[in-house]
Amino acid sequence: MILTEHPRPSHTFVHVSDTHLPAERSPLYGSGTDADANLSLMLERLVSSGLKPDALLMTGDLVDRGDATAYRRLRALVEPAAAALECEVVWAAGNHDARGVMRAELGLSGAADEPVTEVRWFGGMRVIVLDSTVPGEHWGEIDEAQLGWLRDHLATPAPAGTLLLIHHPPLPTVLDLAVTVELRDQGRLASVLRGSDVRGILSGHVHHPSFGTFAGIPVAVASSSAYGQDLAQPVGATRGQDATQGYNLVHVYEDTIVHSAVGLERGTDVGEPVAADEAQRRIAGAGIGWRGVD
């Protein structure tokens, strides 16, 4: 029998960002975009897929203006889906969130106005949440207190490594206007992360999938579930659109992590759809077995 090159992943996460629920359910920014409906559809498809992830990783801009009503609707959508998926939810703050309201409505620990930080464990894998928000601003920064806190935690490596959640991506932006809202003083964060066990940085903020490296660490940016950015605009221009919404699947292996962008749109079939049981039958028929499975 031929064995697959890799075993099944040790961990699976769903990376969702920039849900942007408004105070009351209404079209976002006067457009036809229904952020509630888009998130609901995304979660419905996840549940119907049969996926059993370790967690939903929510990387900020959870609501659009920090309103309590929006956080309540967010919980009403996300928590039943997480229960059906049999997974946990990890929340990170974005520049559109309000720390105190977010804490109160999502049941997070800590003083109202402190940065929203957390350490969660999934077996031997550690997930660390940083807060890159600067109250009253849309650009991001990690303050010295958080950097010290992060350094202390990273001093002890996790058996399966660490994932770092931070709303503002520590990457160059491909949209010129986004330099006004980027993560500032990135070098200070890089000095803490170099040589650590951080295997991946997960971010949002820019409303389009983006991938790169920072301090030698892979960075994966998820699109928004609310609305996307049109990257086919003339160079230097910016245009949000009611399209290209999506999320990332994160599959963790011993020697790599695979980030896969999943779009909200669904098109017509191309070629032959193959059901899951039929796919496994064909794999077995080809004489291939899964590595790590007896």
Alpha carbons 20 and 198: distance in angstroms, whole number? 28
Do 246 and 235 contact (CB within 8 A), yes or no? no
- Report the distance separating Cα 77 and Cα 35, nearest Å: 12
Give DSSP secondary structure letters for 195-254: TSSEEEEEE-SSSS-EEEEETTEEEEE---SS-EE-TTSSTT---EES---EEEEEEE-S
pLDDT score of 294 more than 80: no
What are the tens digits of pLDDT across the range 144-160?
999 999 999 999 999 99
pTM over 0.85: yes
Counting Cβ atoms within 10 Å, is residue 213 exposed (0-12), middle (13-18) or buried (19+)?
exposed
Neighbouring residues of 11: CB distance < 8 A, sequence distance ≥ 6: 54, 122, 123, 125, 160, 250, 251, 252
DSSP states of 97-109 = S-HHHHHHHHT--
Distance CA 237, CA 172 (A): 16
pLDDT tens-digit map of 24-41:
998 999 888 999 999 999
Binning pLDDT at 50, 70 and 90, where does residue 120 land? very high
The pLDDT of residue 219: 98
pLDDT confidence tier of residue 293, bands split at 50, 70 and 90: confident
Nearest CA among 18, 24, 13, 14 for reference residue 38: 18
Q: Compute the Cα dihedral for 260, 265, 266, 271 and give only its sign.
A: negative
Q: What is the mean pLDDT of residues 127-148?
A: 98
